[in-house]
Amino acid sequence: MRNATTLKSAAVIAAAALLFAGCSGSGGKGHSGMDHSSMGHNMETGSNNATNTGSTERLTGTAFNLTAQVSKQELAPGITLPVWTFNNSVPGPQIRVKQGNTVTINLKNELPAPTSIHWHGVPVPNAMDGIPGVTQNAVQPGETFTYTFKAEAPGTYWYHSHQDSANQTDRGLYGSFVVEAKDGDKPDRDYTLMLDEWVSAGTGDKGENMAGMDHGTMNMSGSNTSGSSDMGDTSSGHGGHGASNEAGMNMGHDMSMYDLFTINGKSGSAVEQLPVKKGEKVRIRLINAGFLSHQIHLHGHEFKVVTSDGQPFNNPAVLKDTLVNIAPGERYDLEFVADNPGQWLIEDHSGGKAGQGLKAVIGYEGASAGTDKPDVSDSLPLLDITRYGEASAAMFTLDQTYSKSYDLELNTAMKNGSMVYTINGSIFPDIPPVNVKKGDTVKVRMVNNSPMDDHPMHLHGHFFQVLSKNGKPLEGSPVIKDTLNLKPGEEYVVAFKADNEGNWMFHCHDLHHAAAGMVAEVKYDDFKTNFVPDPNAGNMPE
């Protein structure tokens, strides 16, 4: 994801600063007594000169330490880029916990900028959601913050920065978070593949002091400032495809600079093989940490998609040679029995040369080199989750009476010469909130009116049930999610129960769209917070 140019490094930060400045006064606990008057951090702070070339670490237990730091990583043979990391790797370590356990994660910030951690999909208490200016103050360089919550919902989740997240997540600040169920069969092999996109052509140099930038004179009209950098800069190898490059783009997002796709921070021949033995049950957890959708094909085996966003499908059907589309922020778990010895690919069919690097080999132990080849040009069916699995009793129905009903009309617009992404014609923080009371049942109709852009909408702190697509009720299993992708022209109706008090974000997980306005809030009427925002913390919740 990180990069050579600074389209994103400058312009998206400018956009976020302009759009979210009001958030610094919205409540929370944390570094309220800190003196931030000297936030001109040395951009060399936290540099790590060692290049990471190893595997993703797996951490288990109940107490964990994560250090956010600048590093560099070899993503493909001959391609090493500057990255921002948790524990000196992209992805950061996988955190695996047991359902029902209370976990503690200590974050130490050795970056040259403030940061935070959001637990994507995990229904945490509001104070632990990791949103600067909304639930906490951003964690300053050299400071620490402790997240504590009970892991109650089993499934596949992930964590990432939510401070200036269009930039920081793009640079590599993410990792996987797995809650293992108390009951149920466990697979013999359990692999997690985090998908991402990068710009391979070197590094850029934002160069600005994040606290001292004059955002008032910056616009997002397509400027491109490039320069040299070293390991301590705040540029990314992801490249900036944010709002700065969108004006004049036919009201759409140009993503073509993303020319290097990765699995667990590696591309092409650098991706680690997935060993299996004949007869084993194998689970593959797919997590999209990037900004592009990927269509995944598992070769040589029948399989089931057992969960979406960590939540199970009811009696999922057996599939073969079927693509699974995974949008930004989504997760899908695939399971199969290793019954076809050889070496088989799991690969991306989303197209383009970059997609050729997003593939891994499933290798049977003892098998000689296989003859399986990429088949990205083949026309294969795409899984339709609205018709997958078997119907069963669910919490909500389309025609029941709801306590509250809301419409979210998603669109693209020009505002003061810049591209913005709107909800009901407005941009954050001017979008009226979704107001609820604890115990309410809430129905939300979402429509994507943008002419070209997908909008993967993510609700914090809650799961929602998908009730209909384009006016047609779901035909298969109940579908429970926290992130749902809407393509241009699509309409979905979802419902959730207001059972987790707080102030929660509901936003597009193409984080550049969020930084350019596409953020709503779900606010509980009677919720009281002890959080006090520090106006000098540099809080940037997107």
What is the pTM for the complete model shown? 0.85
The more confident residue out of 105 and 246 is 105
**Which residue's structure tokens are 């800069």?**
233
List the one residue out of 161, 233, 173 whose CA is nearest residue 515: 161
Question: pLDDT for 114-171, tens place per residue?
Answer: 999 999 999 999 999 999 999 999 999 999 999 999 999 999 999 999 999 999 999 9
What is the chain's mean pLDDT, rounded? Answer: 85
**Which residue's structure tokens are 């200590």?**
106
CA–CA distance, 166 with 12 (Å, rounded to integer):
7
Number of H helices, E strands in the chain: 3, 33
What is the CA 127 to chain-centroid distance, rounded? 20
Q: Is-contact 463 311, C-beta < 8 A?
A: yes
Cβ contacts of residue 21 below 8 Å, gap of 6+? none
CA–CA distance, 4 with 466 (Å, rounded to integer):
39
Q: Is-contact 311 397, C-beta < 8 A?
A: no
Q: How would residue 439 be classed by pLDDT, with cut points 50, 70 and 90?
A: very high
Which CATH number does 404-524 carry? 2.60.40.420
Token couple for 202:
């070197």
Token couple for 471:
């006016």
What is the CA 497 to chain-centroid distance, rounded? 23
State yes or no: cis peptide before 132, omega within 30 of 0: no
Q: What is the mean pLDDT of residues 299-312?
A: 98
CA–CA distance, 116 with 22 (Å, rounded to integer):
18
Q: How would residue 28 be classed by pLDDT, with cut points 50, 70 and 90?
A: very low
CA–CA distance, 483 with 283 (Å, rounded to integer):
21
Query: Can you give the pLDDT at residue 255?
Result: 75
Q: How would residue 250 be classed by pLDDT, with cut points 50, 70 and 90?
A: low
Architecture of domain 260-364: Sandwich (2.60)
Q: Is-contact 491 429, C-beta < 8 A?
A: no
Question: pLDDT for 374-423, tens place per residue?
Answer: 999 899 999 999 999 999 999 999 999 999 999 999 999 999 999 999 99
In eight-state DSSP terms, residue 230 is: -
pLDDT reading at 242 higher than 80: no
Please give the C-alpha separations between residue 366 and each of 273, 276, 341, 343, in angstroms, as whole numbers. Answer: 13, 10, 9, 10
Question: pLDDT for 187-224, tens place per residue?
Answer: 999 999 999 999 988 543 322 322 222 222 222 222 22
Stretch(es) of the chain classified as CATH 2.60.40.420: 50-184, 260-364, 404-524
CA–CA distance, 141 with 132 (Å, rounded to integer):
14
List the one residue out of 26, 30, 80 whose CA is nearest residue 53: 80
| CATH 2.60.40.420 given to domain 50-184 | yes
CA–CA distance, 227 with 139 (Å, rounded to integer):
28
Residue 246 CB burial class (10 angstroms; 0-12, 13-18, ≥19): buried
